[in-house]
């Protein structure tokens, strides 16, 4: 392969190497993938795509790095490297944010927030490096102690909606606990991760500790999920791919898996809210942020009947005030959807909703703007529980608004889903807030707000929304395994 053409250095305000980052080097893949600017539909550049052979090379590199020193590296050294990496992310926050916006289409100020989050996550988990320890258990004449050991080589398969944030959700807990990792980025949004890869090398991590490759899910993702030396997979994405990963794990080495899958999160507004405008603000943020492309999006809004009309009116007004357009424009609230295919999929749900008899109250159309994949924020009313737009994850700027009578009624409706990622409750009555939060089948419940996700609070799904937890101290259990050592002091059997 011609190295000069295959490693087209892509110039924007900075250089990004478009190879596969394995063993601290950028290398060639099996073929290339074009990455597209969703705001224009134009090709930004081509990146190297991993085939099964390169996945194997990356896993072998991670395996060697694990046994060759990272596993036994001192916690202090791991923390020092992680803080150095966080420093570099902060230094390059603007480059990383521009790349994220260019590749993913999210408004620039949101991308900047994402990058700051990345450094916060790295520092948070760096703090755990030297705080991982087990217990001492006195077992009658024998002394037992437990050790929390790393699992080995972790594989991470990450989505395109929060590319660099999802990467760090997996990289930070994996490496602080002494694992090594192979990350596969989404083929649609590889650029910020490639820039990040250069920072990994600059920070001084040993070759093979963090490997970052791009490729298609059915090729590179599948090879990683089936690899016999990949000891764990952490995946964020759709339920169907989650199933495929469980199957691949079952058919190979029974690797451990954590999955963070879809959602159809309810957002419940009681008529006792102190400030309806505030509830409207959060509800709009909960569904239309990131162009609705969020697994935890509050895509089913339930409003108590007495305030339903007023809520819908205010909601509509606020939604219409948001500009859909160029993500580099400071006044833009909503950028493009990620791809033509995805936009078409969302648009097909608009047709489905109408055919099922729901009212498309607001939006529902494509927005023609410079060849980009834009659409109007869309609100459906007159929806019924069995409609597909009520049951299926649309993963776009589409929300359904329903009425409810009382607490019992809304809990029943809210839980009536295969998903269980998140939920929100708006009320000024603390008893009601707690009663409803406890009854909701969801991994996160937000009271009087939506979409609050932080590094120090656990995140994950009930029901078909996932397995395991990410973020916070709880995540560490999913990156370690427990060994019990039993010492016979002087006892006979």
Ligand X SMILES: *[C@@H]1O[C@H](CO)[C@@H](O)[C@H](O)[C@H]1NC(C)=O
Q: How many other C-beta atoms can be found within 10 angstroms of the C-beta atom of residue 137?
A: 13
Q: What are phi and psi of 482, to 5 degrees?
A: -105, 125
Angle, alpha carbons 35-39-43 (nearest 5°) = 30
Binding of ligand X by 428 (CB under 6 A) = yes
Cβ-based nearer residue to ligand X, 360 or 411: 411
CA atoms of 20 and 483, how far apart (whole Å): 35
Pairing between β-strand 366-367 and β-strand 374-375 as defined by DSSP bridges: antiparallel
Residues 315 and 283: beta-carbon distance below 8 Å: yes
Structure tokens at 136: 């001492």
Interface residue with ligand X among 135, 247, 365, 412 (CB under 6 A) is 412
Q: x/- site string to ligand X, residues 353 to 392, per CB under 6 A?
A: ----------------------------------------
Cβ-based nearer residue to ligand X, 51 or 134: 51
- Number of helices followed by number of strands (H, E) in the chain: 15, 26
Binding of ligand X by 334 (CB under 6 A) = no
Q: x/- site string to ligand X, residues 31 to 70, per CB under 6 A?
A: x-------------------xxx-----------------
Query: Is-catalytic flag, 260?
Result: yes
- E strand spans, 28-161: 31-37, 42-49, 136-139, 142-150, 153-157
Cβ-based nearer residue to ligand X, 238 or 407: 407
The residue assigned the tokens 């990455």 is 35
Binding of ligand X by 416 (CB under 6 A) = yes
List 60, 100, 260, 455, catalytic entry: 260
Interface residue with ligand X among 37, 258, 293, 337 (CB under 6 A) is 258
Least distance CB 245 / ligand X (angstroms): 12
Least distance CB 492 / ligand X (angstroms): 36
State the Cα torsion 268-366-452-78 to the nearest 10°.
Answer: 150
Least distance CB 335 / ligand X (angstroms): 27
Least distance CB 478 / ligand X (angstroms): 4
Binding of ligand X by 249 (CB under 6 A) = no
Binding of ligand X by 435 (CB under 6 A) = yes
- In terms of Cβ atoms closer than 10 Å to its own Cβ (0-12, 13-18, 19+), residue 355 is exposed
Cβ-based nearer residue to ligand X, 235 or 426: 426
Cβ-based nearer residue to ligand X, 365 or 412: 412
Interface residue with ligand X among 347, 411, 421, 445 (CB under 6 A) is 411
Binding of ligand X by 439 (CB under 6 A) = yes
CA atoms of 182 and 235, how far apart (whole Å): 12
Q: How far is CA 412 from CA 403, 404, 416, 439, 463, in A?
A: 13, 10, 6, 9, 15
Binding of ligand X by 219 (CB under 6 A) = yes
Cβ-based nearer residue to ligand X, 81 or 421: 421
CA atoms of 21 and 25, how far apart (whole Å): 5
Structure tokens at 59: 């896993």
Which one of the spans 80-88, 340-348, 393-401, 434-442 is the region binding ligand X (CB under 6 A)? 434-442
Binding site for ligand X (CB under 6 A): 30-31, 51-53, 219, 256-258, 273-275, 278-279, 407, 411-412, 415-416, 426, 428-429, 431-432, 435, 439, 441, 448, 468-469, 474, 477-478
Kindly list the catalytic residues: 260
């Amino acid at each position: 392969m011609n190295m000069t053409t295959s490693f087209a250095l892509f110039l924007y305000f900075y250089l990004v190497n478009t190879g596969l980052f394995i063993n601290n080097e950028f290398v060639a893949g099996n073929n290339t993938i074009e990455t597209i600017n969703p705001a224009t539909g134009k090709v930004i550049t081509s990146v190297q795509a991993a085939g099964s052979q390169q996945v194997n090379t990356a896993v072998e590199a991670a395996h060697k790095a694990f046994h060759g020193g990272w596993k036994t590296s001192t916690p202090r050294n791991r923390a020092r490297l992680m803080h150095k990496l966080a420093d570099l992310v902060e230094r390059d926050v603007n480059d990383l944010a521009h790349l994220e916006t260019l590749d993913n289409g999210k408004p620039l100020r949101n991308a900047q927030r994402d990058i700051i989050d990345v450094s916060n996550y790295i520092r948070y988990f760096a703090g755990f490096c030297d705080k991982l320890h087990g217990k001492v258990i006195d077992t009658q004449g024998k002394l037992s102690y437990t050790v929390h050991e790393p699992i080995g080589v972790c594989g991470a398969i990450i989505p395109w909606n929060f590319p660099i944030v999802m990467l760090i959700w997996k990289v930070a807990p994996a490496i602080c606990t002494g694992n090594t990792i192979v990350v596969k980025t989404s083929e649609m949004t590889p650029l910020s991760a490639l820039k990040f890869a250069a920072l990994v090398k600059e920070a001084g991590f040993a070759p093979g500790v963090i490997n970052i490759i791009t490729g298609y899910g059915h090729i590179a993702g599948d090879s990683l999920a089936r690899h016999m030396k990949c000891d764990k997979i952490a995946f964020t994405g759709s339920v169907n791919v989650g199933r495929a990963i469980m199957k691949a794990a079952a058919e190979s080495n029974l690797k451990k898996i954590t999955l963070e899958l879809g959602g159809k999160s309810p957002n419940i507004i009681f008529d006792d809210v102190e400030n309806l405008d505030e509830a409207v603000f959060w509800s709009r943020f909960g569904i239309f942020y990131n162009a609705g492309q969020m697994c935890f999006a509050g895509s089913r809004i339930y409003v108590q009947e007495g305030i339903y009309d007023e809520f819908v009116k205010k909601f509509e007004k606020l939604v219409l005030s948001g500009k859909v357009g160029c993500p580099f424009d400071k006044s833009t609230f909503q950028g493009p959807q990620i791809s033509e295919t995805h936009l078409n999929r969302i648009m097909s749900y608009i047709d489905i909703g109408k055919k099922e008899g729901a009212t498309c109250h607001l939006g529902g159309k494509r927005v023609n703007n410079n060849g980009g994949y834009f659409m109007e924020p869309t609100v459906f009313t007159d929806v019924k529980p069995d409609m597909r737009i009520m049951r299926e994850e649309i993963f776009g700027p589409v929300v359904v608004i329903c009425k409810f009578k009382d607490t019992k009624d809304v809990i029943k409706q809210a839980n009536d889903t295969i998903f269980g990622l998140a939920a929100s409750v708006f009320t000024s009555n603390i008893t009601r807030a707690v009663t409803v939060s406890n009854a909701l089948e969801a991994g996160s419940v937000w009271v009087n707000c939506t979409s609050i996700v932080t590094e120090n609070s656990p995140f994950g799904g009930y029901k078909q929304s996932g397995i395991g937890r990410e973020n916070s101290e709880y995540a560490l259990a999913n990156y370690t395994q427990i060994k019990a050592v039993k010492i016979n002091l002087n006892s006979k059997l």
